[in-house]
Amino acid sequence: MKLDTTPKQDGFYFPAEYEPVREVWLAWPERRDNWRASAKPAQQTFANVANAIADVVSVSVAVSSSQYETARSMLHPSVKLVEMAFNDSWMRDIGPTVVVNSSGQRRGVSWKFNAWGGEFNGLYEDWSDDDKVAASVCDVLGIDHYRAPFVLEGGAIHTDGDGTLYTTEECLLSPGRNPELSKQQIEALLAEYLGIEKVVWLPNGLSNDETDGHVDNLLHVVAPAKVVLSWTDDPFDPQFKLSREAHAALSEQTDAQGRSIEIVKIPVPGPLYYSQEEANGIESSDGMNRHEGERLSASYANFLMVNEHIFLPLLDDQYDDIAIEILTKALPNYQVVGIPTREVLLGGGNIHCITQQIPA
């Protein structure tokens, strides 16, 4: 059921990803202008991710009727398939952000979705099915939902569940999202729909990120007042300046509880680029042009935390083990599960982008 109140009015808030999770959702990829070779390599990778998560927690996958049998044959029997219409498979951005209250009730938030920029710089023209996914997932979960009156994607926000929200100015203040809203108005709406008390603003996201700098590709909130930040020491890498800007912004601010923010640096893989075969394997479209030699917006921060497990994208033999070592040291109670996910990266995101956790 759609509610006419707001989460803040009703005493609901957005919990942290490191709090207990009951279920994880994905959506099955098939779009040929985003996933190469008729999406078959991406489907195998999505299945590997879903099956790995299913060892830890319940997994549901939204799928079109035409892809149902294919998905069923590739996914573990415990993975639940739900027939649903959608335009592309970024469940983090099209699925609901689930909020909770002090007595453990859950409700969903359905954000306005416009394919990362609408008519200004959106990645495809028709996003009408995507915009309905959050409400549909809430119906399947049997929970009520709120419809937020502004454009937002789940990948654009991270929270500590303790009053602090992390985001980037590049994304939330981009002309394709909510040009009629000021920064202060956006902050007020985030407080109203996520029950947060403070927004920690970072200037920009990761270099060459076609989502206009989603925060989940730049950093990950891993504990109260503790973040993992994408980093490079190569002064010739465009990310060099962006990571230092983010580090400065985090260092100059405290969280909602007045705590200084601990920053764990994790290297960016690569740099990585589209190969000729990868670029040519995608059907051309207006919004999503892929070119041989184009830099991929690759990040180890784009992992998923589920019940003391980290599902980490493996992207670069040179850095994979280093990333695992850094996370294991920073989060000794967590088991790091590495999954090769270059095929997801080719579509413009990674494990965090294709998943949406449902809090316990």
pLDDT in tens, 279-330: 999 888 777 778 899 999 999 999 999 999 999 999 999 999 999 999 999 9
Cα–Cα nearest to 126, from 137, 113, 139: 113
Catalytic residues: 353
| Distance of alpha carbon 266 from alpha carbon 104, whole angstroms | 34
CA distances to 38, 143, 226 from 9, in Å: 46, 17, 28
pLDDT in tens, 76-113: 999 999 999 999 999 999 999 999 999 999 999 999 99
Average pLDDT over residues 254-272: 98
| Distance of alpha carbon 133 from alpha carbon 192, whole angstroms | 22
Give the side-chain half-sphere CA count within 13 A for 61.
31
- Predicted TM-score (pTM) of the model is 0.97
Average pLDDT over residues 115-127: 94
For residue 12, the model assigns a pLDDT of 98
pLDDT in tens, 150-201: 999 999 999 999 999 999 999 999 999 999 999 999 999 999 999 999 999 9
Domain spanning 2-359, CATH architecture: 5-stranded Propeller (3.75)
The whole-angstrom distance between residue 342's C-alpha and the CA centroid of its chain comes to 16
Q: Are 27 and 94 in contact (CB under 8 A)?
A: yes
For residue 302, the model assigns a pLDDT of 98
**For 295, which DSSP code?**
B
Residues with Cβ < 8 Å from 130, sequence gap 6 or more?
86, 87, 88, 93, 94, 113, 115
